[in-house]
Amino acid sequence: MKLLLLPSIMNRQYRFSHYLVQCLSIILIALALIGCAKAKIETQPIPTPTPVPVVNGKSDVAVWLTDPDHITYFAKQNVTLNFSSSSNYNPTIVVDSTQTFQTIDGFGFALTGGSAYLINQLASATRDALLKELFTADSTYIGVSYLRISIGSSDLDANVFSYDDLPAGQTDEGLQNFSIDPDKPNLIPVLKAIFALNPKIKILGSPWSPPTWMKTNQNSVGGSLKPEYYSVYANYFVKYIKAMEAQGIRIDAITPQNEPLYGGNNPSMLMSALEEDDFVKNYLGPAFQTANISTKIIVYDHNCDMPSYPLSILNDPVAKKFIDGSAFHLYGGDISALTQVHNTHPDRNVYFTEQWVGGPGNFPSDLKWHVKNLIIGATRNWSKNVIEWNLASDPNYYPHTIGGCSTCLGALTIGTSVNRNVSYYIVAHASKFVSAGSVRIASDNVGNLSSVAYKNPAGKKVLIVLNEGTSSQTFNIQFKDMIVTPTLSGGAVGTYIW
């Protein structure tokens, strides 16, 4: 009996073993898929440049789309949109080029020391192709036209430094030891390559901290500028601008202090409105004037919740004559603060100079918030620029200082490959088509559709539209009594050019 049953038993054992192997294989595949899904949360590894499709037939309007729900990332659409005199009951965005507002300086990113380091470590062919993609506007390239850099280190450098660091207890009031050598290995070579591609690019310089020997606490974190060093620090700015000019890098504008109301970053420094007013009025402005420096002075450089800070400085007529405008971030307050400052001092400019994306990020919600509040919101509130923080980080959000931002997601993640994240696409929707010298013109916000419009130096009209809703919306774009009728998915951004 046992001999007769043995083949049957062996067959069942074989089937059971085979079943276990199949189950184990399924489990391993599932785990691999989960791992891939988690990896995709970190970045959007979309290859660029995106091939440009050929539109079937003539189209009056070109369309570039980012639609996260349909996995479309700043891609030119194969659509035909021709203006006509037809009518319908769709919501209508009226674009009026006879109503003009501010002239645009540009759109771009903070080129931190860490960003420059990561870019400079790339193989030369990869680096050159990436810089061309970022800083030229032909083909599918995105035409970045404005950069912010730190004067000395920011918190997104690997180490804290100034241009005149000394051993504890020493001072250098004559700035004999001043040197921009810390920027020469990475930042300056990358900037030179960028200027070769776009000689008209605008650069804003902002210090996170002066040399510690100038500060009340002798520390890179917090503290204030000692009054006896106000004139020395003004000359520090003069030396910086001239040293960069000697490298072929023109600094278009500076702010006296990044985030002057926050002293907890490394590096950082506190500077009250009264202190900044005194520094600009009695030291920095006159020093620039004496040295025949045309670099703009832009005050404040902090959140929208304290418009009283720049207003108090601009209300000082002696300080105001040295000041081009005010700069803002949006970690607090409302973007309408820019209009409040503009309306009080319409003869001075406003700028938007920093906003981060916290890693790992949420692409659809980050896209919607940043386009609504910055690309559309800041410029509808008179900003001449929009700068996203920051251009590049590695997969673990380095480089950064000890105590610096440890979850700042770059527009690019540079590791074994280069991945493009949400800030890249946020900026691209404006920077490619709204070049320096463009003028904002009138457009409507209707229903869930937010918009901003421009006329660029080539005479093209550029309309950026965000669908803040969750469902698709068909709408009209009306220009000079003619309409075209596109459709935009919920959460999507479209740039329309004609």
366 forms beta bridges with none
Q: How many CB atoms lie within 10 A of CB 336?
A: 12
42 is catalytic: no
Strand segments (E) across 439-480: 439-442, 449-455, 461-467, 473-474, 476-479
The single residue of 259, 275, 388, 468 carrying the catalytic annotation is 259
Listed in sequence order, the residues at least 6 apart from 150 whose beta carbon sits closer than 8 Å to its beta carbon are 110, 112, 113, 157, 205, 206, 207, 208, 258
Instruction: Classify residue 495 by its DSSP letter.
Output: E
Element (H, E) at 98: strand 92-103
In the annotation, is 468 catalytic?
no
- CB hemisphere CA count around 155 (13 angstroms): 21
What is the phi/psi pair of residue 214, to 5°?
-85, -5
Which alpha helices (DSSP H) does 266-307 contain, by range? 273-279, 285-290
Alpha-carbon distance of 489 to 157, in angstroms, equals 39
The one catalytic residue in 42, 228, 245, 354 is 354
Strand partners, 103: 439
The alpha helices in 43-176, defined as continuous H runs, are: 113-120, 124-135
User: Active-site residues: which are they?
Assistant: 259, 354
